[in-house]
Amino acid sequence: MGQVLRKVEEYKDESQIYINAIHGKSKGWITKAEINEGVFKQWHYKLNQLLDIDFTQENIYISLNTFYKTYRRIENLKEINCIHMDLDTYKTKYTKTQILMNLDENYFGKTIPIPNLIIDSGRGLYLIWLIDPVPYMALPLWKAIEEYIYKELKEFGADRMALDPTRVLRVLGSINSKSNTMVKILETNEYVHKLREIQEEYLPEIPKKEKGKATAPKKRGRPKKVVYVFNERSLYLARITDLVKLCELRSYDIEGEREMILFLYRYYLNYFFEDEQKALNDTLELNMMFVKPLPIKEATRATESAEKVYKSNNKDYKYKNETLIELLQITEEEQKHMVTIISKDEVKRRNNEYNKSKYKMKLKEEGKMTKKEQLNVLRQKIKVLREEGLKNKDIMQILNINSSTTFERHITYLKKNGLLK
């Protein structure tokens, strides 16, 4: 079960109540943005700083999720607090009242969860579902839920371009200059959801299908519900994370592989977001972080083929790890910090580390020691007995060491490491 909505203290206005409801426990950076005379600007604040800002101006927005850094990009996501849907109701044949009546009767609690906040944004509606915060690794599941709700609400003007987790939405109490109306709350619901609950309760099942075999028919009765978790989308997210990690490891001082990194970054973003403009904007922002960034026009032109490949659904650019390692000249040391762009040798190394760790844990649970730990104990005993003045022959007998060669190796080790004089 989820938890009761975090308690809202007494605040001066609706915007503060709204911000506290969404970000009451947020630790990361929150983006505030505004559009003034057609120019988009953004700033980043912590929660307490944000609560002191006057939001009763025109076209003011904030991010629903938070970031590790002051860059509103997917790889910097710290906490995912909400699921959201932006309904452009003015593009439909229905009024807002008709849509809300239809949703309440046929959708809420039936095909989609009941929102925590229903907001009149001026020319449309925002539906916001508060969730127990999850880290960015849950993005594939979050994205699957967003896609599912979008398809359910497409008829009512759900905006396909507003499904990304870095999205900013208008703040309660601010003014929508296009409609000249204040953004206001219409309905609230105090139950805070869990991402897995929504998955289990609402998302349809995807039957497992083996190669060459027909899908087994569903059993009668209420079907199990599992999430649309697309392995491909999880891979794109991991690739994006690895590209940025590579830039960080090289302190953004990159020239030879710069264009290829930007191309791949824009390519993977297109597939993850399915939003060409968002992918381009984030790519240009990443470019500006390089010690020697490309001019904006050149960066756009150098990566535009990524968008063309995405639109054509060309599979030729779905590079294997070995190809990416070669193209980007990723070293063995750098691979240790990667999520997916790793060689077979690195996979083997990680498996060995995992198996060693698992073996040590098993021995610990059974009250046993590893061979290395046993060896250290034996050498410590040799050291103590030598310091007590016992002869080597007597020590070997006491410790049941049969080989003088083995014993001499222990003595050499102790002396070499300064444990014996």
* Cα distance between residue 352 and residue 323, in whole Å: 24
Domain ranges of the chain: 3-202, 231-347, 369-416
Distances (CA, A) of 248 to 117, 228, 252, 264, 338: 38, 32, 6, 16, 11
pLDDT band at 205 (very low <50, low <70, confident <90, very high): low
pLDDT band at 284 (very low <50, low <70, confident <90, very high): very high
For residue 222, pLDDT over 60 is answered with no
Tell me the pTM.
0.71
Q: What letter represents residue 355's amino acid?
A: N
pLDDT band at 198 (very low <50, low <70, confident <90, very high): very high
Residues 232-248, mean pLDDT to the nearest whole number: 91
φ/ψ of 224, rounded to 5, equals -70, 150
* Cα distance between residue 261 and residue 258, in whole Å: 5
Assess if CATH 3.50.50.60 describes domain 3-202: no
* Cα distance between residue 373 and residue 378, in whole Å: 9
* Cα distance between residue 75 and residue 242, in whole Å: 9
Q: pLDDT per residue over 67-95, tens digit each?
A: 999 999 999 999 999 999 999 999 999 99
For residue 229, pLDDT over 50 is answered with no
What's the pLDDT at 1? Answer: 38
Q: pLDDT per residue over 328-373, tens digit each?
A: 999 999 999 999 999 999 999 988 887 877 767 776 777 777 778 7
For residue 234, pLDDT over 90 is answered with no
Report percent pLDDT > 70 for the chain. Answer: 89
Q: CB of 325 within 8 A of CB of 343?
A: yes
What's the pLDDT at 17? Answer: 87
Q: What is the DSSP letter of 221?
A: S
For residue 4, pLDDT over 70 is answered with no
Q: CB of 407 within 8 A of CB of 392?
A: yes
* Cα distance between residue 404 and residue 154, in whole Å: 81
Residue 255 burial (CB count, 10 A) = 10
φ/ψ of 204, rounded to 5, equals -70, 155
Residues 208-237, mean pLDDT to the nearest whole number: 52
Helix (H) or strand (E) holding 353: helix 344-365
pLDDT band at 375 (very low <50, low <70, confident <90, very high): confident
For residue 43, pLDDT over 70 is answered with yes
100 versus 273: the higher-pLDDT residue is 100
* Cα distance between residue 421 and residue 418, in whole Å: 7
Residue 68 burial (CB count, 10 A) = 14
Q: Is 304 helix (H, G, I), strand (E, B) or coil?
A: helix
Among the ranges given (102-116, 138-152, 202-216, 330-344), the one the predictor scored with the smallest mean pLDDT: 202-216
Q: Nearest-5° angle of CA 247, CA 249, CA 255? A: 45
Residue whose tokens read 């398809």: 151
DSSP-assigned states of every residue in 152-181 = HHGGGTB-GGG--TT-EEEPTT-EETTTTE
Q: CB of 379 within 8 A of CB of 399?
A: no
pLDDT band at 289 (very low <50, low <70, confident <90, very high): very high
Q: CB of 69 within 8 A of CB of 76?
A: yes
Q: Is 148 helix (H, G, I), strand (E, B) or coil?
A: helix
* Cα distance between residue 48 and residue 26, in whole Å: 10
Residue 249, burial from CB neighbour count under 10 angstroms (0-12, 13-18, 19+)? middle
Average pLDDT, rounded, for the chain: 86
Among the ranges given (139-153, 225-239, 266-280), the one the predictor scored with the smallest mean pLDDT: 225-239
Q: pLDDT per residue over 8-24, tens digit each?
A: 444 457 888 899 999 98
45 versus 418: the higher-pLDDT residue is 45
For residue 233, pLDDT over 50 is answered with yes
Residues 287-292, mean pLDDT to the nearest whole number: 95
| Nearest residue to 331 (alpha-carbon basis) of 402, 214, 395, 250 | 250
SS3 for 34-86 is EEECCEEEEEEECHHHHCCCCCCCECEEEECCEECCCCCCHHHEEEEEEEEEE
What's the pLDDT at 167? Answer: 93
What's the pLDDT at 12? Answer: 56
What's the pLDDT at 406? Answer: 87
What's the pLDDT at 316? Answer: 65
Distances (CA, A) of 390 to 104, 320, 381, 386, 394: 88, 62, 12, 5, 6
Distance, C-alpha 67 to centroid of its chain = 10
| Nearest residue to 102 (alpha-carbon basis) of 200, 202, 123, 110 | 110
* Cα distance between residue 372 and residue 13, in whole Å: 64
* Cα distance between residue 420 and residue 387, in whole Å: 8
212 versus 379: the higher-pLDDT residue is 379
What's the pLDDT at 260? Answer: 94
* Cα distance between residue 369 and residue 50, in whole Å: 54
Q: What's the first-to-final CA gap in the chain, in angstroms?
A: 65
pLDDT band at 293 (very low <50, low <70, confident <90, very high): very high
